[in-house]
Structure 1
Amino acid sequence: MRGLPQREVRVKIGRDAHGPVVAGDGNVTHVNASTPVPAVDQGPPADLLAAHRVVVTTDVQRSSSRDNAGQRHMRRAVEGCVLAGAAALGVAADVLDVSDRGDGLQVVMPEAVGLVDVLDTFVEAVAKALREHNRASGDAYRVDLRAAVHVGHVDRVGGEWSGTPLVHAARLVDAPGVKDALGEDGDACLALVVSAPVKQVVDEGYCRVGPAGYRHVGVVVKETSCDGWWRLL
Protein backbone atom coordinates (compact mmCIF):
# COMPACT_ATOMS: atom_id res chain seq x y z
CA MET A 1 0.00 0.00 0.00
CA ARG A 2 1.36 3.39 -0.95
CA GLY A 3 1.67 5.97 1.83
CA LEU A 4 0.33 9.46 1.75
CA PRO A 5 1.86 11.67 -0.94
CA GLN A 6 4.81 13.59 0.42
CA ARG A 7 6.62 16.71 -0.54
CA GLU A 8 9.55 18.64 0.86
CA VAL A 9 8.78 21.96 2.45
CA ARG A 10 10.90 24.31 4.51
CA VAL A 11 9.73 25.70 7.81
CA LYS A 12 11.35 28.86 9.05
CA ILE A 13 11.89 29.06 12.83
CA GLY A 14 12.92 32.40 14.19
CA ARG A 15 15.18 34.51 11.97
CA ASP A 16 17.90 32.26 10.58
CA ALA A 17 17.22 28.61 11.41
CA HIS A 18 15.47 26.56 8.76
CA GLY A 19 15.49 23.03 7.42
CA PRO A 20 13.59 20.51 5.34
CA VAL A 21 10.67 18.57 6.73
CA VAL A 22 8.42 16.00 5.10
CA ALA A 23 4.70 16.66 5.15
CA GLY A 24 1.64 15.02 3.71
CA ASP A 25 -1.06 16.93 1.90
CA GLY A 26 -2.37 19.74 4.03
CA ASN A 27 -1.37 23.11 5.29
CA VAL A 28 2.01 23.84 6.85
CA THR A 29 2.22 26.77 9.22
CA HIS A 30 5.34 28.89 9.50
CA VAL A 31 6.22 29.09 13.18
CA ASN A 32 8.21 31.95 14.62
CA ALA A 33 10.15 31.03 17.77
CA SER A 34 9.41 34.43 19.27
CA THR A 35 5.66 33.77 19.15
CA PRO A 36 4.49 31.97 22.29
CA VAL A 37 2.70 28.71 21.66
CA PRO A 38 -0.63 28.70 23.48
CA ALA A 39 -0.84 26.16 26.29
CA VAL A 40 -3.10 23.21 25.68
CA ASP A 41 -5.91 23.07 28.22
CA GLN A 42 -5.72 19.57 29.63
CA GLY A 43 -9.04 19.98 31.44
CA PRO A 44 -9.91 18.33 34.73
CA PRO A 45 -8.30 15.00 35.58
CA ALA A 46 -10.16 11.91 34.47
CA ASP A 47 -12.76 10.49 36.82
CA LEU A 48 -11.71 7.56 38.97
CA LEU A 49 -14.04 5.15 40.72
CA ALA A 50 -13.04 2.83 43.56
CA ALA A 51 -9.43 4.03 43.59
CA HIS A 52 -7.61 2.45 46.52
CA ARG A 53 -5.65 5.25 48.18
CA VAL A 54 -4.09 6.31 51.47
CA VAL A 55 -5.77 9.45 52.78
CA VAL A 56 -4.44 11.90 55.35
CA THR A 57 -6.54 14.54 57.08
CA THR A 58 -4.93 17.28 59.18
CA ASP A 59 -6.42 19.73 61.63
CA VAL A 60 -4.76 22.56 63.55
CA GLN A 61 -5.19 22.54 67.30
CA ARG A 62 -7.10 25.59 68.65
CA SER A 63 -7.31 27.16 65.19
CA SER A 64 -10.43 29.20 66.00
CA SER A 65 -8.57 31.19 68.66
CA ARG A 66 -6.40 32.93 66.04
CA ASP A 67 -7.03 36.35 64.54
CA ASN A 68 -6.89 36.97 60.78
CA ALA A 69 -3.11 37.35 60.70
CA GLY A 70 -2.74 34.21 62.75
CA GLN A 71 -5.07 32.31 60.41
CA ARG A 72 -3.03 33.32 57.37
CA HIS A 73 0.21 32.32 59.06
CA MET A 74 -1.31 29.02 60.15
CA ARG A 75 -2.47 28.11 56.66
CA ARG A 76 0.91 28.90 55.10
CA ALA A 77 2.68 26.89 57.79
CA VAL A 78 0.50 23.81 57.38
CA GLU A 79 0.79 23.90 53.60
CA GLY A 80 4.57 24.21 53.84
CA CYS A 81 4.82 21.26 56.23
CA VAL A 82 2.63 19.06 54.03
CA LEU A 83 4.73 19.94 50.99
CA ALA A 84 7.85 19.06 52.99
CA GLY A 85 6.29 15.65 53.60
CA ALA A 86 5.57 15.23 49.90
CA ALA A 87 9.14 16.19 49.04
CA ALA A 88 10.43 13.53 51.44
CA LEU A 89 8.33 11.00 49.52
CA GLY A 90 9.71 12.26 46.23
CA VAL A 91 6.22 13.41 45.19
CA ALA A 92 6.02 16.68 43.26
CA ALA A 93 3.70 19.32 44.67
CA ASP A 94 1.56 19.35 41.52
CA VAL A 95 1.00 15.60 41.78
CA LEU A 96 -0.29 15.68 45.36
CA ASP A 97 -4.08 15.91 45.64
CA VAL A 98 -4.66 18.42 48.44
CA SER A 99 -7.95 19.99 49.50
CA ASP A 100 -8.30 22.90 51.90
CA ARG A 101 -10.43 22.18 54.98
CA GLY A 102 -10.10 25.70 56.41
CA ASP A 103 -8.22 24.70 59.54
CA GLY A 104 -6.34 21.87 57.90
CA LEU A 105 -5.72 19.95 54.70
CA GLN A 106 -7.05 16.74 53.21
CA VAL A 107 -4.50 14.75 51.20
CA VAL A 108 -5.21 11.86 48.85
CA MET A 109 -1.91 10.17 48.16
CA PRO A 110 -0.84 9.04 44.68
CA GLU A 111 -1.51 5.39 43.93
CA ALA A 112 2.17 4.45 44.25
CA VAL A 113 2.45 5.75 47.82
CA GLY A 114 1.72 3.05 50.39
CA LEU A 115 0.90 3.09 54.08
CA VAL A 116 4.45 2.42 55.22
CA ASP A 117 5.68 5.36 53.13
CA VAL A 118 3.09 7.62 54.72
CA LEU A 119 3.78 6.57 58.33
CA ASP A 120 7.57 6.29 58.13
CA THR A 121 8.39 9.10 55.72
CA PHE A 122 5.55 11.55 55.14
CA VAL A 123 4.36 11.94 58.73
CA GLU A 124 7.88 12.13 60.12
CA ALA A 125 8.85 14.80 57.58
CA VAL A 126 5.73 16.85 58.35
CA ALA A 127 6.53 16.69 62.07
CA LYS A 128 10.14 17.70 61.45
CA ALA A 129 9.07 20.71 59.36
CA LEU A 130 6.52 21.65 62.00
CA ARG A 131 9.11 21.58 64.78
CA GLU A 132 11.40 23.80 62.71
CA HIS A 133 8.55 26.22 62.06
CA ASN A 134 7.67 26.41 65.74
CA ARG A 135 11.26 27.06 66.78
CA ALA A 136 11.50 29.91 64.27
CA SER A 137 8.07 31.41 64.97
CA GLY A 138 7.87 31.27 68.74
CA ASP A 139 4.74 30.91 70.85
CA ALA A 140 2.79 33.62 69.03
CA TYR A 141 2.58 31.59 65.80
CA ARG A 142 3.10 28.07 67.11
CA VAL A 143 1.19 25.41 65.19
CA ASP A 144 0.23 22.08 66.74
CA LEU A 145 -1.27 19.64 64.28
CA ARG A 146 -3.37 16.50 64.42
CA ALA A 147 -3.18 14.09 61.48
CA ALA A 148 -5.36 11.06 60.77
CA VAL A 149 -4.31 8.30 58.36
CA HIS A 150 -6.80 5.90 56.79
CA VAL A 151 -6.94 3.77 53.65
CA GLY A 152 -9.77 2.65 51.40
CA HIS A 153 -11.59 3.09 48.12
CA VAL A 154 -12.40 6.65 47.10
CA ASP A 155 -13.88 8.26 43.99
CA ARG A 156 -12.71 11.27 41.99
CA VAL A 157 -15.43 12.94 39.97
CA GLY A 158 -14.88 16.26 38.25
CA GLY A 159 -11.51 16.65 39.95
CA GLU A 160 -12.98 16.30 43.47
CA TRP A 161 -12.48 13.35 45.81
CA SER A 162 -15.23 11.77 47.84
CA GLY A 163 -15.89 8.57 49.74
CA THR A 164 -16.35 7.11 53.20
CA PRO A 165 -12.57 6.85 53.88
CA LEU A 166 -12.36 10.65 53.74
CA VAL A 167 -15.28 10.99 56.14
CA HIS A 168 -13.76 8.42 58.47
CA ALA A 169 -10.39 10.21 58.53
CA ALA A 170 -12.15 13.48 59.32
CA ARG A 171 -13.83 11.84 62.34
CA LEU A 172 -10.58 10.29 63.56
CA VAL A 173 -8.73 13.61 63.48
CA ASP A 174 -11.45 15.13 65.69
CA ALA A 175 -11.23 12.46 68.39
CA PRO A 176 -11.50 14.34 71.73
CA GLY A 177 -9.00 12.04 73.41
CA VAL A 178 -6.34 12.87 70.82
CA LYS A 179 -7.05 16.59 71.11
CA ASP A 180 -6.62 16.41 74.87
CA ALA A 181 -3.39 14.42 74.66
CA LEU A 182 -1.78 16.90 72.29
CA GLY A 183 -2.95 19.87 74.35
CA GLU A 184 -1.48 18.46 77.54
CA ASP A 185 1.95 17.66 76.08
CA GLY A 186 4.16 20.72 75.84
CA ASP A 187 6.86 19.03 73.76
CA ALA A 188 4.88 17.33 71.01
CA CYS A 189 3.76 19.26 67.93
CA LEU A 190 1.88 16.55 66.05
CA ALA A 191 -0.62 13.91 67.11
CA LEU A 192 -0.98 11.01 64.68
CA VAL A 193 -4.13 8.90 64.85
CA VAL A 194 -4.63 5.86 62.63
CA SER A 195 -7.60 3.69 61.74
CA ALA A 196 -7.99 -0.04 62.30
CA PRO A 197 -6.81 -1.04 58.77
CA VAL A 198 -3.70 1.11 59.19
CA LYS A 199 -3.04 -0.33 62.64
CA GLN A 200 -3.07 -3.83 61.15
CA VAL A 201 -0.08 -2.87 58.99
CA VAL A 202 1.66 -1.45 62.07
CA ASP A 203 0.94 -4.67 63.99
CA GLU A 204 2.59 -6.73 61.26
CA GLY A 205 5.89 -4.99 61.99
CA TYR A 206 6.30 -3.18 58.67
CA CYS A 207 6.69 0.31 60.15
CA ARG A 208 9.51 1.99 62.05
CA VAL A 209 7.25 2.54 65.08
CA GLY A 210 5.57 -0.69 66.13
CA PRO A 211 2.31 -1.31 67.98
CA ALA A 212 3.89 -0.58 71.37
CA GLY A 213 4.29 3.04 70.28
CA TYR A 214 0.53 3.57 69.91
CA ARG A 215 -2.27 4.03 72.42
CA HIS A 216 -5.91 3.13 71.89
CA VAL A 217 -8.67 5.74 71.81
CA GLY A 218 -12.39 5.31 71.43
CA VAL A 219 -13.68 7.71 68.79
CA VAL A 220 -17.26 8.95 69.10
CA VAL A 221 -17.72 11.91 66.76
CA LYS A 222 -21.08 12.75 65.14
CA GLU A 223 -22.46 9.53 63.64
CA THR A 224 -19.11 7.69 63.88
CA SER A 225 -18.19 5.32 66.68
CA CYS A 226 -14.96 3.41 66.15
CA ASP A 227 -11.50 2.61 67.48
CA GLY A 228 -8.38 4.62 66.77
CA TRP A 229 -4.73 4.43 67.78
CA TRP A 230 -2.51 7.43 68.32
CA ARG A 231 0.98 8.58 69.13
CA LEU A 232 2.65 11.93 69.60
CA LEU A 233 5.60 13.29 67.61
Structure 2
Amino acid sequence: MTADTAAPWTPTGWCHLFSCDVISYGDARRTDEVQGFLRDNMYRALEASFTHARIPYGDIYVEDRGDGVIAAVPSGHDPALLVTAVFDGLKAHVKRRNRLASEIAQMRLRAAVHLGVARHDGRGLVGTDVNHLCRLLDAPSFKELVGRSPAPVCLIASERFYDDVIRKDVGVIDVEEYHHLQVSLKETDCPAWVRRP
Protein backbone atom coordinates (compact mmCIF):
# COMPACT_ATOMS: atom_id res chain seq x y z
CA MET A 1 0.00 0.00 0.00
CA THR A 2 1.37 3.41 -0.93
CA ALA A 3 1.56 6.22 1.58
CA ASP A 4 -1.30 8.13 -0.06
CA THR A 5 -3.66 5.12 -0.18
CA ALA A 6 -5.85 5.00 2.91
CA ALA A 7 -7.01 1.66 4.25
CA PRO A 8 -10.78 1.14 3.91
CA TRP A 9 -12.84 2.01 6.98
CA THR A 10 -13.94 -0.89 9.16
CA PRO A 11 -16.28 -0.60 12.16
CA THR A 12 -14.70 -0.45 15.61
CA GLY A 13 -17.62 0.80 17.68
CA TRP A 14 -20.81 2.81 17.34
CA CYS A 15 -22.20 3.05 13.82
CA HIS A 16 -25.40 2.94 11.78
CA LEU A 17 -26.31 -0.55 10.57
CA PHE A 18 -28.19 -1.37 7.39
CA SER A 19 -28.97 -4.77 5.91
CA CYS A 20 -30.94 -6.01 2.94
CA ASP A 21 -31.54 -9.23 1.10
CA VAL A 22 -33.26 -10.40 -2.06
CA ILE A 23 -36.69 -11.93 -1.41
CA SER A 24 -37.02 -15.51 -2.75
CA TYR A 25 -33.44 -15.47 -3.98
CA GLY A 26 -33.26 -19.27 -3.77
CA ASP A 27 -36.44 -19.89 -5.75
CA ALA A 28 -35.85 -23.13 -7.71
CA ARG A 29 -36.72 -21.32 -10.95
CA ARG A 30 -33.84 -18.90 -10.41
CA THR A 31 -30.85 -20.33 -12.21
CA ASP A 32 -27.26 -19.42 -11.33
CA GLU A 33 -27.39 -16.86 -14.13
CA VAL A 34 -30.53 -15.24 -12.69
CA GLN A 35 -29.07 -15.22 -9.18
CA GLY A 36 -25.92 -13.55 -10.53
CA PHE A 37 -28.09 -10.97 -12.29
CA LEU A 38 -30.01 -10.29 -9.04
CA ARG A 39 -26.81 -9.91 -6.99
CA ASP A 40 -25.36 -7.52 -9.55
CA ASN A 41 -28.54 -5.45 -9.53
CA MET A 42 -28.67 -5.42 -5.72
CA TYR A 43 -25.12 -4.07 -5.52
CA ARG A 44 -25.76 -1.51 -8.26
CA ALA A 45 -28.91 -0.38 -6.42
CA LEU A 46 -27.03 -0.04 -3.12
CA GLU A 47 -24.18 1.94 -4.59
CA ALA A 48 -26.56 4.24 -6.48
CA SER A 49 -28.76 4.73 -3.40
CA PHE A 50 -25.94 5.59 -1.00
CA THR A 51 -24.47 7.93 -3.60
CA HIS A 52 -27.92 9.52 -4.04
CA ALA A 53 -27.99 10.05 -0.26
CA ARG A 54 -24.55 11.73 -0.42
CA ILE A 55 -22.96 8.97 1.61
CA PRO A 56 -19.92 7.95 -0.47
CA TYR A 57 -20.11 4.21 -1.07
CA GLY A 58 -16.36 3.98 -0.46
CA ASP A 59 -16.88 5.40 3.05
CA ILE A 60 -19.05 2.53 4.26
CA TYR A 61 -18.20 -1.04 5.17
CA VAL A 62 -20.16 -3.57 3.09
CA GLU A 63 -20.13 -7.29 3.88
CA ASP A 64 -21.51 -9.83 1.43
CA ARG A 65 -24.08 -12.29 2.78
CA GLY A 66 -24.83 -14.26 -0.39
CA ASP A 67 -28.37 -13.14 -1.11
CA GLY A 68 -27.85 -9.86 0.72
CA VAL A 69 -25.45 -7.52 2.50
CA ILE A 70 -24.79 -5.87 5.82
CA ALA A 71 -23.51 -2.30 5.64
CA ALA A 72 -22.02 -0.29 8.48
CA VAL A 73 -22.08 3.48 8.07
CA PRO A 74 -19.74 5.71 10.12
CA SER A 75 -21.58 7.58 12.85
CA GLY A 76 -20.63 10.96 11.34
CA HIS A 77 -23.36 10.52 8.72
CA ASP A 78 -27.00 11.37 9.47
CA PRO A 79 -28.79 8.06 10.22
CA ALA A 80 -32.09 9.53 8.96
CA LEU A 81 -30.67 9.23 5.45
CA LEU A 82 -30.94 5.43 5.68
CA VAL A 83 -34.75 5.60 5.89
CA THR A 84 -35.17 8.56 3.54
CA ALA A 85 -32.73 9.05 0.66
CA VAL A 86 -31.18 5.56 0.73
CA PHE A 87 -34.56 3.82 1.04
CA ASP A 88 -36.18 6.01 -1.64
CA GLY A 89 -33.21 5.49 -3.95
CA LEU A 90 -33.38 1.72 -3.51
CA LYS A 91 -37.10 1.68 -4.21
CA ALA A 92 -36.71 3.77 -7.37
CA HIS A 93 -33.77 1.73 -8.63
CA VAL A 94 -35.53 -1.61 -8.08
CA LYS A 95 -38.72 -0.42 -9.78
CA ARG A 96 -36.77 0.91 -12.76
CA ARG A 97 -34.74 -2.31 -13.17
CA ASN A 98 -37.81 -4.52 -12.76
CA ARG A 99 -39.50 -2.82 -15.70
CA LEU A 100 -36.68 -4.14 -17.89
CA ALA A 101 -36.40 -7.64 -16.41
CA SER A 102 -38.22 -10.89 -17.05
CA GLU A 103 -40.64 -12.02 -14.33
CA ILE A 104 -38.20 -14.47 -12.69
CA ALA A 105 -35.41 -11.85 -12.71
CA GLN A 106 -37.50 -9.16 -11.01
CA MET A 107 -36.19 -8.21 -7.60
CA ARG A 108 -37.77 -7.30 -4.30
CA LEU A 109 -35.78 -6.46 -1.17
CA ARG A 110 -36.24 -6.73 2.57
CA ALA A 111 -34.25 -4.09 4.47
CA ALA A 112 -33.48 -3.47 8.14
CA VAL A 113 -31.88 -0.58 10.06
CA HIS A 114 -30.43 -0.39 13.55
CA LEU A 115 -28.02 1.75 15.59
CA GLY A 116 -25.35 0.06 17.63
CA VAL A 117 -21.87 -1.25 18.15
CA ALA A 118 -20.16 -3.39 15.53
CA ARG A 119 -16.59 -4.56 15.28
CA HIS A 120 -14.65 -6.13 12.46
CA ASP A 121 -12.66 -9.13 13.70
CA GLY A 122 -10.64 -9.60 10.53
CA ARG A 123 -13.21 -11.97 9.04
CA GLY A 124 -16.42 -9.99 9.27
CA LEU A 125 -18.76 -8.01 11.52
CA VAL A 126 -19.43 -9.25 15.04
CA GLY A 127 -21.52 -8.00 17.94
CA THR A 128 -24.91 -8.34 19.55
CA ASP A 129 -26.20 -5.35 17.55
CA VAL A 130 -25.18 -7.09 14.31
CA ASN A 131 -27.08 -10.19 15.49
CA HIS A 132 -30.10 -8.03 16.32
CA LEU A 133 -30.09 -6.47 12.84
CA CYS A 134 -30.02 -9.92 11.23
CA ARG A 135 -32.90 -11.14 13.38
CA LEU A 136 -35.03 -8.16 12.44
CA LEU A 137 -34.47 -8.95 8.77
CA ASP A 138 -35.27 -12.66 9.27
CA ALA A 139 -38.23 -12.25 11.65
CA PRO A 140 -41.19 -14.45 10.60
CA SER A 141 -43.65 -11.62 11.36
CA PHE A 142 -41.73 -9.31 9.00
CA LYS A 143 -41.47 -11.98 6.29
CA GLU A 144 -45.21 -12.61 6.56
CA LEU A 145 -45.96 -8.91 6.17
CA VAL A 146 -43.59 -8.67 3.20
CA GLY A 147 -45.32 -11.64 1.59
CA ARG A 148 -48.61 -9.71 1.59
CA SER A 149 -47.07 -6.53 0.17
CA PRO A 150 -46.35 -5.74 -3.48
CA ALA A 151 -43.78 -3.09 -2.48
CA PRO A 152 -40.38 -3.39 -4.20
CA VAL A 153 -38.57 -2.68 -0.91
CA CYS A 154 -39.94 -3.33 2.60
CA LEU A 155 -38.22 -1.77 5.62
CA ILE A 156 -38.06 -2.71 9.30
CA ALA A 157 -36.44 -0.47 11.93
CA SER A 158 -35.27 -1.46 15.39
CA GLU A 159 -36.89 0.09 18.42
CA ARG A 160 -33.66 2.02 19.11
CA PHE A 161 -33.58 3.41 15.57
CA TYR A 162 -37.25 4.33 15.80
CA ASP A 163 -36.86 6.08 19.18
CA ASP A 164 -33.58 7.87 18.42
CA VAL A 165 -34.06 8.77 14.75
CA ILE A 166 -37.55 8.29 13.31
CA ARG A 167 -39.68 9.53 16.22
CA LYS A 168 -37.39 12.51 16.93
CA ASP A 169 -36.99 13.67 13.34
CA VAL A 170 -38.55 16.98 12.44
CA GLY A 171 -39.87 17.28 8.93
CA VAL A 172 -37.86 14.78 6.87
CA ILE A 173 -39.36 11.51 8.17
CA ASP A 174 -43.10 10.99 8.38
CA VAL A 175 -43.54 9.04 11.61
CA GLU A 176 -47.11 8.20 10.59
CA GLU A 177 -45.69 5.92 7.87
CA TYR A 178 -44.45 3.48 10.52
CA HIS A 179 -46.40 0.90 12.46
CA HIS A 180 -45.46 -1.43 15.31
CA LEU A 181 -44.50 -5.06 14.67
CA GLN A 182 -43.52 -7.61 17.31
CA VAL A 183 -40.40 -9.60 16.44
CA SER A 184 -39.88 -13.08 17.91
CA LEU A 185 -36.94 -15.12 16.65
CA LYS A 186 -34.41 -17.28 18.50
CA GLU A 187 -33.43 -15.36 21.67
CA THR A 188 -35.04 -12.14 20.38
CA ASP A 189 -38.50 -10.97 21.42
CA CYS A 190 -38.87 -7.23 20.94
CA PRO A 191 -40.86 -4.47 19.27
CA ALA A 192 -39.82 -3.09 15.90
CA TRP A 193 -41.30 -0.63 13.41
CA VAL A 194 -42.19 -1.23 9.78
CA ARG A 195 -42.55 1.44 7.14
CA ARG A 196 -45.93 1.12 5.48
CA PRO A 197 -45.67 0.19 1.79
Q: What residue number does 2:37 align with?
A: 73
Partners of 1:46 and 1:109 lie apart in 2 by: 9
2:66 matched to 1:102? yes
- Cα deviation for residue 48 of structure 1 reads 5.6
2:180 matched to 1:216? yes
Q: 1:167-189 deviations in whole A, cap 9, x for unaligned? A: 11100011222222222223x11
2:195 matched to 1:195? no
Q: What residue number does 1:152 align with?
A: 116
Equivalent position to 1:93, from 54, 57, 67: 57
5+ residue gaps, structure 1, are: 1-38
Q: What residue number does 1:23 align with?
A: none
Asked if the contact 1:86/1:92 (under 8 Å) is kept, the reply is: yes
Partners of 1:111 and 1:158 lie apart in 2 by: 21
5+ residue gaps, structure 2, are: none
Q: What residue number does 1:22 align with?
A: none
CA RMSD for the aligned pairs?
A: 2.2
- Cα deviation for residue 67 of structure 1 reads 2.0
Asked if the contact 2:62/2:71 (under 8 Å) is kept, the reply is: yes
Q: What residue number does 1:230 align with?
A: 194
Q: Percent identity?
A: 24
Partners of 2:101 and 2:124 lie apart in 1 by: 34
Equivalent position to 2:143, from 179, 192, 202: 179
Partners of 1:46 and 1:134 lie apart in 2 by: 32
Partners of 1:216 and 1:88 lie apart in 2 by: 28
| TM-score (normalised: structure 1) | 0.75
Q: 1:95-145 deviations in whole A, cap 9, x for unaligned? A: 221111111011001232222121111111111111111112142211110
Asked if the contact 2:179/2:193 (under 8 Å) is kept, the reply is: yes
Partners of 2:33 and 2:174 lie apart in 1 by: 39
Q: 1:35-59 deviations in whole A, cap 9, x for unaligned? A: xxxx62868657764x211100112
Amino acid in the other structure paired with 1:211: V
Question: What aligned pairs does 1:1-16 form with structure 2 within 5 A after superposition?
Answer: none
Amino acid in the other structure paired with 2:179: R
Question: CA, structure 1 residues 160+138, in 2 after alignment: closer, same or farther (shift >3 Å)?
Answer: same
Asked if the contact 2:111/2:154 (under 8 Å) is kept, the reply is: yes
2:103 matched to 1:139? yes
- Cα deviation for residue 69 of structure 1 reads 1.4
